[in-house]
Structures are given as C-alpha cells and as structure tokens.
Structure 1
Amino acid sequence: MTAAVARASMPMPHRTSTPPPHLSLNTSTRGTPAAIPNKHIPICSPGGLPATPPASPPRQDSLIETSSITYPPNQYCTEYSDDPPVYTITADRMAEALEHMATQPLPNPDQVFPWLHGLHAENQIQLAFFSSRRKSVRKVPNCLRGLTLVKTGGNLNSSKLKGAIAADEILQPASSDPPAFIECDPKDGFSVRNFQIQACKLAMVSDIIVYGDQKTHPNETIALAQRISKAQRQYEARNGFPRCLFNTFMLSDSFSVVQERYPELVATDSTSNMTGNVADFFYWERYEMCKMSTASEISNNVFLGPTPDPGVKSECVGEDAYDMLIEATDLAHVPESRSLRALRMGMERNNRKCAMHMEFPSSGSIMPPTWSHSEVDGLMDMCKWMYELANPQEIRRSKRRKSDDDEAIEMDDIVAPRKFLIHCTDGYTETTLLALAYFMYAEGLPAHDAWVRMHRDKGRNFFAYPSDVALLTVIQCRILEESPRSSLGALNMPPEPNWLSKIDGSLPSRILPYMYLGNLGHANNPELLRELGITRILSVGEALSWGDDLKKRLNWPTENLMMVDRVQDNGVDPLWGEFERCLKFIEAGKQDGGATLVHCRVGVSRSATICIAEVMNELGLSFPRAYCFVRARRLNVIIQPHLRFTYELLKWEEFQRQRRNEPLRRELEWATVAREIALMNKPYSK
C-alpha cells in the first residue's frame, strides 16, 4: 500500500576524497561521495592497435618547458636544513608560485606522451604497444616541472588548499627505508585511462610544499618534509637528474593566514566547509545535472524533475511549489485504489499547507513478460487519479457520470487543481515509466509520439529501459482508449515507426540545442534522428553502415555527413588537429537551424572530446566546467575521454583564452584534473 509520508529533501553529500586504485587517502568519518545513481562506465575498446605510428598532430615549432619561481629554491626561500635539503616558504611566495604555474603553457602532448600513460618496466603489454612508436618512451620528459601541495596528516576534509593531496598518495609507507616515491605505473594490463596515477607522476617532477593545519604539530610537518626530500634525492639519482633539481618546502605561515590573505586558494576551510572558491568536480556535476533536469511542466499541472536539493544552487524549485511529490523508487509498489482514495482525502485535509509525498515503482521495475494485470491496472489508475486532480475543471465540464464500480473522485469536492512533481535523484531515470505513461494518457499520444514529443517539444532529457519501451508499446491501446484526450482506438492505431524497434531505450544525449552526443547505434538510426530534428552527422573514427535502400529513401545530403578518419581510442591518435574542422561543421548545422549528432562507437571518448571542445568554444567555459557540463548531459553513460584527449582539451583551453585575448590562466592543473576524474569514476568502477 502506498502512503503519504513526510520526508526531507536529500542534501548534497559533502565532498570527500575517495581513493582510486593505488591510492590510500584518509577520508575521515564522512564517508565517500555519493555516486549519482544509474550511471555506468561502458567498455571502451582501444580499437585496432596500428603497427606503425599515426601521423603526428599539428604542433608548435618550438618545444615548451614549464618554468617555476621556486627554482632555484634559495632565491626567494629560506633553507631550513641541508641534510636532507628542506626550505621554508611564505604564504605570499606560495601564492605567487601557484599563480605563476597556472599561467604557464602546458608542454605539447607529444612531449609528455606516452610517458603519462604509465610505462612500468614489467608491463610488457603497455611497453610493447608504445615502444613501437617512440624510442626511450620511459624517459622522464625534461619539459615538465610542477608544484605539488601535500597536507600533513592527510585529512583533506578540512583545511584543504587548492590541489592539495595526502602524503600516502605519493610516498611509500613510513616504515620504508630509505623513503621513496610510490611506483605508480601499473605493472599489469593495458590502459590509456590511468588518471589515478597522474598526481603521483607529476609530484615526482615537482617542487613540493608541505603544510599543516591548526591540529598539526610542527614536528610532523618537518618529518614529512624530510621524508619527501629524501625521496626526491632517490628519484633524481635513479633518473640521472642533477641533485636538488626538485625541492621540498614547508609553509612557514599558518593555514589561517592563507585563508585570510588568499581565500581563492582555499577549497575547504578549517571548519570543513567547502568555500566554493575552487572548482569542485563533484559539485559541478550535480549542479549541471540539476540545471539540465530542472523541473518543467510536461502536462497541465504535472511536472517532471529531480528531487529538490537545497545543497545545490540552481534553478531547481523547492517542494513547497507542489501539492504532491511522487518519488519513483525501486522499493515502491504500484498503489492500490484505496491508497489513492486515502491520499486524495489527505490532500483535502492538508489544504495546501505543505507538500505531501508518495512513492511509485521506478522505470524498469515492471518487467516483461511477467507483468501482471494488477500492475497495469495500477498504472492506469495512477494516471487517471493524477489527471482528475490536476484538471478538475476539465473533468467537471465533461460531466462524467460515476458508475457503480467506478472509483473516480467526487469533482464537487475539488476547489482547485493540484500540482504534481514526479521526481527522482537525477531527474530523468527512475521517473521515465510513470512520466511517459501519464504523458500518453493526458495528451492522447501513442508511445512513439510521446517518446519524441517529451524530448523535442517538452525539452526533457530522459533515459528509459528497454522494458519500458516494450511495456508502453504493448499497453498503448488501453492507454489511448481510456485517455480523455485521445480519439484513437485499437482499430485506428497508427503503424509503429521503424526507428522505435531500433532503440535500446536511450535517445542521443542533447548537449546543446544544436548538438547531440551519441553512439554508432544512434547514427545508424537516421529516421529517429530526423524525428529529433538532427540534420547532420559527425562520425569520429567510426563509419556509418546505412544500406543502399535506406540512403535512397532518406535522401540525406552528403554535405551533411562528415567523417573524421583514422582516429582510434588508443591513447596515441590525436584529435587536436581536427577540432577546428569539426566545430565548423557543427556551427554550419547551427546556422541552418538544425542539430548535429556527434558520435563514435560508444559515445564516451572521441565524440565526447569533440563535444567538450564545442562547449568550451561556445560557452567560454574552462575545461573542468565543460567536462562536468557534458558529463551531466550524457545521462546514464559516463563520458571518459582518455588521458591524451583530456590533455589536448586543456591545451584547447589555452587556445580559447588566446583567441578571446584573455591571459592564460588554468582553473586547475593537470594533476588535479586527472585526480578529480579518477575520484569521480571510482564509485562506478567494478
């Protein structure tokens, strides 16, 4: 039985460091960040591994080397000890050094790859693949120089500076003698998405600043700084570097001084509150998800959207705007008629003082071929109940008479229409079954029309399980026969379009009004694309397989098809050189008033990279924010451009700022970007 319950809106989970593989971070007592439900990481094949290197991407004539104002160390800093060498640095000098680093151009991709992929001496698969393309691939690039902040104690839930990491992310256990950096390159397997090792790899070629908070004893910071300095000496000797090429510093000012003078460097303050001054991937993904799925009216007085979340500042409307909030959840049962009557009486007694709550089964929970008549009856009763409460004037005008076995509500008792919000955490997954069924019932639409109009005309992005497609297709005759708006019956139902049987429940993801991101299956369903207003197709590394009959019937202009050839998802093939050509193709579609589908095979790496580049270009966003923008709008599939594509997008950000006559200044450094992506993906990893 479904009951009305009082419940609090889900607060945004606190941001906490989640250790990816090979990392062991202190996450304190607040646990790990909650993963957005229903997302998954698809298998992304590297494709054919070519025997010879691909053509090199366009590159600058001169090599780029990163400079730092912390080298030589004694120019602006004071030596604390000489065995091992450790220096002190003030908050002013640290802020200046971080700002200098953020304004330095990154080395070109060819200068740092494949080294950044992780090339362990015992990983024969990884070495064999990359060594056939470059001599001395394991040699540390001499163009890299970073600046790494390490917090003593490792608790990053409070007093966290921008980009700070814990010592156990880079150092072997304290018991190891002599101190040494972690061997972070993976020994086994082949991967071009080793984001989890980047913070450690960059720390080895960085000056390192150690700091503590008000709870840290100075002796702990001194001991940690000395361990790091000894690890640097060992790393230098192993790689043939000059002694003290990279150095260790201790912050001489307290964290409170940094917080007062340089609040833009503080990610989490001393009371464990996020300041909002530093871009946070977890927060921005949830913000963009809430913004993308903001509640909107799909039919008169019935809204669809995410669970109201006071922790995210966006256009999400609070629950007090509705009379009834219907949460779609796996734990719910289809409501019985008596439950609906009780809820209606409760709404009358409540007299709109506060929103009431109920639950309904989520998408994918009514499974074919085992669904029961009672489940379908309950779904129909739910649609009818909602419609009568949302449209009392229309029901009264229709002058329906209640039969002996009809349990319709008495219209004379209704004084005003009721507003409903169908909601779930992400605003689009669990709610799809009920939302589409109600949309069909209230608007008198067959399944295929409801599918397209919900997305195209109502502006809703949604995901549905294949079981939802099957269920709604099977029962659409009954829905339309009982609909107050439909004139269609079983005998005059329109034929099912060819495209409906070809979809797996998902539509291409609308990233911008004129740009969609999808997979090869979407691209090979051109009839669906036309229904959505998609007039151009950009294929990145994967060719279309349209039959001759389909080509002839569709008459799709060849100039509206573009192919980016010889780009596999292998960490070697570049995309940077194709950005301008792809974006011009997308812009042409925008100018024509249509939309472009950008696709590869799975729709998460190559095509996602192009979409991120366009979002950066169109909206002027930094890479971290553009990444979260696209990630949220890819709905249930997690985008995962590999390391090289991600690095190329950071270089693209540099180019964008240059083109807008803005000074170069990265919002986050490469090591931090990679670490955040690894942390975001960890909850979904198997």
Structure 2
Amino acid sequence: MATVIVQQQHTLRHSTPPPSSMTSSLVTNSRSSPIPNKHIPVCPTGPAPFDLSDSDWSPSLPEGCSQVSSLLQSAHMRYKRISEPPSPIVYSLDADQLAEAMKHLSSQPLPDPSYMFPWLHGLHPDNHMQLNFFSSRRKIQRKPPKNWRGLTIVKLGGELDTYRLKGAVAPEDVLSPQGCFLNPDPPQAFSVRNFQIQGAKLAALSDIVVYGEPDCCKEELLLLAQAFAVAQEQWRYKHDPAQDLGWYNTFILTTPFPQIEQKHPEIVGNDFRGIRPGEMWDFSYWERLEMSIMSEVSEISKNVWLGPTPHWLGNTADRTLPKDCEYDLIIDAYDMAQIPGPRSLAMIDKKIEEIGPQRMEFPSSGVLYLKSGNNRETEDIINTVRWIHYLANPEAELMDQGNDAAMKSTKKPRKVLIHCNDGYTESSFLAVVYFMFAENLRVDDAMIKLHCEKQRNFFLYQTDRMVLSHIQPRLLMECPVPLYGPQTSQFSDWFKKTDGSLPSRILNYLYLGNLNHANNPEMLWKLGIRRVLSMGECITWNPEQRVRWGEDNLLHISIQDNGIDELCHEYNRCLDFIQQGKAEGTATLVHCRVGVSRSASICIAKVMQEYDISFPRAYCFVRARRLNVIIQPNLRFVYELLQWEEYLNKKKGNPILRDLEWTYVCREIALLNKPYSRR
C-alpha cells in the first residue's frame, strides 16, 4: 500500500510576490530571491562541425567595416583636459555631452558577430577545455576585436543602490587591486554563457566615465579617473602595441547628480532614493510583470479561482485578511506547508461561518512523493479537495447525501482562491487535483482541459504525476457524480510518455518545448499543435505519424548550441513557418533538446516581431512563459537577437536605437540567473 509524504525542501524559498495585474505595484529596487523548484538545465553543445587549428587568428576588418563610432574619441579636440602633465590624461564632460554620447552609441550597429566571437565567450590562456573546444570547431580569435568601442560608466565608492547612472558599475567590477583591468575569463570549465564577464571584459575596449555622489571628494574622483587612465595605457602596451584598436579616453562627469535627474532622467538608473525613474530596465521587474500578466487570477471551476499571491495579502506570517476581501478562503501553497487534517478543516470552516474570510496552507507542487506505508496523507488530500468543493458548492454536499431539497439549501457558496507567488510554481498540484475532483476528470484529461479550455498555465513535476496517478482511483470514486468506471480509468498513451509537464504556451499559436514534448505527437495534437519546428534535434516519429501530420508541417533546422553556429540566418525561414501555422489557425511547437536556447531564441525573435518590442522585453516575456525551466540562449544567440532588433527597426524605417547596450543586457541576465546557478 502506498502513502503520500511531505518532502521538506530547505533551499530556494519564496520570491517577492508578483502583482496580480499590470496595475499592481512591484518591488523594483531590490533583487527578488529565487522561486522554488525553478532550475537552469544543462544544454549540450553538439558535435564539432569544423576541424581547424589556427589558434591565434584575428579577422581583419573588411572594407567599410570600421570601429564603432563614438563621440568620445578624439577627446583632445572636443573636451577639456583637467589633469596636469605629467599626470595621466583625464578629460571632463557634462551631462549633456554624456547623454549625447550614450544616445549616439545606442544608434550604432553592433559589429558583425564573426569579429566578436568566440573572444567574447572568454578565452583564458590556462583554460584548455575552452580553447580546445573552439579551436576544434573554427579558427579561434584570441585577440581583442578591432571594431568594438564601448562606454563604461564607473561610480566612485561602488554603492549602486542610489545615485546610479544607467549601466554604471563599481570600480572593483572592472579594475583589479593592482590597478589594471581585470581578466574575467574563467581559467577552467567550459561555457558559452559567460554573461557575467562581459562588462569587465569589454571595459578595456571602452571609454571610461567616472562620477560620484554630490558630496564626493573631488580629489578621490580625480585619483580614480587617473587610475583608469593608467590601466588603459598599460593594457594598450600589453595587448595592442601596434595601436590597431585606437585610443580610449577617461573622463570625469562634472554635472551634479540632482541636475542630471532633472535634465536627463533617461540616463538615470536609480535616483537618490533608490527608485528607478521612467522606464525601469530591470529584468527582474519585467519578468515578474510578465508572470503576473500570464497567471492573472481566473476561475478554474465554480467559485474556485487560481492565480498569483494578491499584492494586498502581505507577509505570509500575517494571518489577517482585509475586511473587504473578495474571497472567503485563501489557500497559500508553499513548500513547507503540511496537508491539513480533518480537525484543521473543521476549525477553518467554523471560523469562516463565524468570523469571515480565512487563510489555510497546502504543500507546494513537487514536494509530495510516494512511499510504502499507510494512506493517511492520501485520505487527507482527498478530504481537503472534497471540503473545498463543498465549501464552494454547498448544494453538492446535500445532493451527495441524497437530499431532494438540495437546491433549497440556504448555505452560502464560498469563493476560494488558490495562490502562490507567481501563480503556478507552487499551486499547480492542488489546482490539478481539485480540478480532477470538481470536473470528474482523469489527470490526463484534466491537464488538457485546464490548459486549453481554462487557458491556465501550470507546471507538474514527475513526483506530482506519480502522486496524481496513485490517488486518481480514490479521487474519482469520491466525486459527487463519478463519470468513469474501471473501463475508462486507464491513462492516455501520451500521458504515459510525459514527465507531467506540457510544452510552454508563449503565444496562442506558438509553443516552446523540449525533445520529449516533440516526440509525443498525440499530446501535441490534444493541445491543438499541428506544426513542429525542430531546432537541431530530430524527432523520431513513425511513418504513420508523419503522414498524418504532413511533411509540410514539419521543419528541421540544422543548428548546434555551441556558441559558434549562427542562428540569425535562419530567422526568416523559421518565422515564416510559424506564421504559416498562425494563418491556418493552428499552433506550432518550436523545440530543441531541452527547450531553452535554440528554440527559445526563435520564440524571442517571433515575439519581438509580433509585438514590436525590444529584445529585453521579449526575453522577459518568453522567460516568464517558459514556466519553471529557465531559458538560456547562449551569448552569441543573445548578441544576434540584439542585431535582430536593429533589423526590425530598419525594416520599419526607424533609426537604430537600442534600449540597452550589450554589457547592460548581459549583466541583467547574469543577475537573473545567479540565484539558480549551481554552487
């Protein structure tokens, strides 16, 4: 005999609750903690397509491909020198000049990725794994690219919560204690997702602007600027003795920060209070906003609602509810909760009748698992969902008891909200098990109906699937009006092949998934998916399945997630394939092996095109809708998506004007991923 045990998880606790709608207030001045059970999957790089070994190759610039233009070059002709000889050269500039320089830089096309990669991946001379990987695939560029010119803003003191300019970094982020530029290339291990090194790596190829808070010491500010000027000179002698890369300059910003806030709020990251004015280019903010939009509260069954934690609910330790709470019962799903027993339910029921709205707890998705023993917890789960159902549908209890006067009952139906921080991570198990009971459905049918008809995104884990499969016979037996007998209680073939998760719905006509999803055509058909776009990984369907779908509805793109293969040349082909499905009123699944890099990049490109939004917004849009699997396009794919943004602007006749620069984008992605990275 089997039973259900609550598995206690001690890591990855709750995130800051997202808002329940677009108009809800969001916490934007601090990073949210990781959401439980989310993870960064491993992305295989695939086989080597090349076998070349020239390891010190640096491409020469083709005719007409010069270094990125900057208003800060030729500084001796445009800006005033404020350091006296023989001190290192430092210039001054004001907020108007800085804002103009930043806008000019954002209007310059990014250099062709063939001149930036694999150098941007990080090629430490001692990291033989990284060097050998790239040298086996293509001539490897170890020298810095000749056509990059960036802009790095450094704040004296390094306190970045307040008085922060857009993209500003601390001195120690780019400068070593010895006074030279950091070498952030990892000395060991292999990765094509070194987002965290980009700011420090490109600082040496950038003009430097140093500033401080209004009361900062001017002498210290000048000393910091001179330290950077010395570092630039040392780096040039070591890495560019022929001066092929041009001359990078160091500046001190002379405009006080309060004046910058008034005249140029567009270049302010955090104001003096730590608040981001205007557009808030904080990826964690946009991710939480997109989560709240995606998982907005909706009714999944009569009087039972599912959604994110309401912003008015406050701290989980505070048991009080607003007097005007629209729900009679608020169910908090989180990983350390216990399954309520009969006495707890009776007590809550009494308090609802006598006092008003109440809260209760239920274990999170992914923390229940099966173990041989007694079945007390199984009965507690069934009792809980039965009690919720009768609370929301009091007439059902009387009907279940055979009372002909059921419809004359005066007991008030209660409204119930099942919630968690993001609206699905922790509440999916309870939502599905309740939906099975209330709608008299097997788990496989409940998943399809909840997803397609109720338009709810949810995520079940393998352990959830096992528990639901185990309790299904008892659950259906207890339904008010059982619909399934023994002959119809068998699971569908597609459900037997799945680990419990469905592919992620990015748009109504666009799904993102992994190879297992793609190799489950029956499940795809149930979801209304009729086209499959395979990014590098081949589906293994039998001939009958291919005939049923039609070869015109299957497209395979040969691409590896190795940080070298180019994806941008396949954008139009892939997006046309997806658009054709939309025109035919059907959905397309885009997949690779794990559904986070190659296929995610195509989905981001499509969202940018569909909604006319920038890469940062589209990235957060897709990231939120991939649910518990965190998307991980490699560095090159992200770089190409920024170029795709440039292309879309040109196509509309608009000038290139990036919302965020490469190093800013990389830092935000690294900060988003850091809580989930394996230690």
TM-score over 0.5 for the pair: yes
State the Cα deviation string for residues 424-469 of structure 1 (Å, max 9, x = none): 1121122122111110111111111101111111111111111221
State the Cα deviation string for residues 309-367 of structure 1 (Å, max 9, x = none): 3699xxxxx9933221101122222112121121111112234xxx4211012223331
Count of residue pairs brought into register by the alignment: 639
Partner AA of 1:389 in structure 2: L
Q: Secondary structure at the match of 1:321?
A: coil
Equivalent residues in 2 for 1:667-682, closer than 5 Å: 667-682=659-674
Q: Secondary structure at the match of 1:510?
A: strand
Equivalent residues in 2 for 1:2-401, closer than 5 Å: 10=17, 33-52=32-51, 62-63=64-65, 65-81=67-83, 82=85, 83-131=87-135, 137-173=141-177, 176=178, 179-238=179-238, 239-240=240-241, 242=243, 245-309=247-311, 320-351=325-356, 355-370=357-372, 372-395=374-397, 400-401=402-403
Q: 2:511 aligns with which of 501, 512, 516?
A: 516
Change (3 A) 1:94 1:392: same
Equivalent residues in 2 for 1:496-645, closer than 5 Å: 496-548=491-543, 550-551=545-546, 555-565=548-558, 567-645=559-637
Deviation at 1:267, TM superposition (A): 1.7
Q: Distance in 2 between matches of 1:371 and 1:286?
A: 41
Q: Distance in 2 between matches of 1:411 and 1:44?
A: 60
2:23 corresponds to which residue?
none
Contact 2:265 2:278 in 1 (8 A): no
Change (3 A) 1:459 1:61: farther
Deviation at 1:670, TM superposition (A): 0.3
Contact 1:363 1:431 in 2 (8 A): yes
1:666 corresponds to which residue?
658
Partner AA of 1:458 in structure 2: K
Deviation at 1:214, TM superposition (A): 2.7
Deviation at 1:263, TM superposition (A): 1.0
Change (3 A) 1:79 1:213: same
State the Cα deviation string for residues 580-638 of structure 1 (Å, max 9, x = none): 00000000111111100000111111111111000101011100110111111111111
Unaligned 5+ segments in structure 2 are 1-14, 20-25, 54-60, 315-321
Q: Distance in 2 between matches of 1:440 and 1:132?
A: 53
1:5 corresponds to which residue?
none
2:7 corresponds to which residue?
none
TM-score if structure 2 supplies the norm length? 0.89
Q: Distance in 1 between matches of 2:278 and 2:499?
A: 39
TM-score if structure 1 supplies the norm length? 0.88
Which piece of structure 1 moves more, 184-193 or 541-550?
541-550
Change (3 A) 1:607 1:129: same
Contact 2:214 2:256 in 1 (8 A): yes
Unaligned 5+ segments in structure 1 are 1-7, 17-29, 313-317, 403-408
State the Cα deviation string for residues 474-500 of structure 1 (Å, max 9, x = none): 2222222221243323x3424321111
Partner AA of 2:46 in structure 1: G
CA RMSD of superposed structures (Å): 2.7
Contact 2:515 2:593 in 1 (8 A): yes
Change (3 A) 1:451 1:132: closer
Q: Secondary structure at the match of 1:544?
A: coil
State the Cα deviation string for residues 181-227 of structure 1 (Å, max 9, x = none): 01111222221111111101221111111111134222221121111
Contact 1:9 1:310 in 2 (8 A): no
Are 1:464 and 2:469 an aligned pair? no
Q: Distance in 2 between matches of 1:627 and 1:336?
A: 43
Q: Secondary structure at the match of 2:325?
A: helix
Contact 1:575 1:645 in 2 (8 A): yes
Contact 2:18 2:291 in 1 (8 A): no
Q: 1:447 aligns with which of 443, 450, 459?
A: 443
Contact 1:499 1:528 in 2 (8 A): yes
Q: Distance in 1 between matches of 2:18 and 2:91?
A: 43
1:406 corresponds to which residue?
none
Q: Distance in 1 between matches of 2:246 and 2:145?
A: 17
Contact 2:182 2:201 in 1 (8 A): no
Q: Distance in 1 between matches of 2:180 and 2:313?
A: 41
Deviation at 1:91, TM superposition (A): 0.6
1:25 corresponds to which residue?
none
Q: Distance in 2 between matches of 1:15 and 1:202?
A: 27
Identity across aligned pairs (percent)?
48
Change (3 A) 1:532 1:172: same
Q: Distance in 2 between matches of 1:131 and 1:472?
A: 49
Q: Distance in 2 between matches of 1:540 and 1:277?
A: 34
Contact 2:156 2:212 in 1 (8 A): yes
Q: Distance in 2 between matches of 1:248 and 1:328?
A: 53
Partner AA of 1:240 in structure 2: P
Contact 1:267 1:276 in 2 (8 A): no
Partner AA of 2:39 in structure 1: H
1:484 corresponds to which residue?
480
Contact 1:130 1:137 in 2 (8 A): no
Q: Secondary structure at the match of 1:368?
A: strand
Deviation at 1:649, TM superposition (A): 0.2
Contact 1:395 1:411 in 2 (8 A): no
Q: Distance in 2 between matches of 1:538 and 1:465?
A: 25
Q: Secondary structure at the match of 1:367?
A: strand
Stretches of 4+ aligned residues off by more than 6 angstroms: none
Deviation at 1:112, TM superposition (A): 1.2
Partner AA of 1:207 in structure 2: D
Deviation at 1:295, TM superposition (A): 1.4
Deviation at 1:148, TM superposition (A): 1.0
Deviation at 1:413, TM superposition (A): 6.2
Change (3 A) 1:269 1:74: same
Q: Distance in 1 between matches of 2:260 and 2:373?
A: 61
Which piece of structure 1 moves more, 128-137 or 569-578?
128-137
Contact 1:64 1:105 in 2 (8 A): no
Q: Distance in 1 between matches of 2:518 and 2:625?
A: 18
Change (3 A) 1:131 1:551: closer
Q: Secondary structure at the match of 1:422?
A: strand
State the Cα deviation string for residues 72-116 of structure 1 (Å, max 9, x = none): 113332111142111111011001101111111111111211111
Contact 1:589 1:596 in 2 (8 A): yes
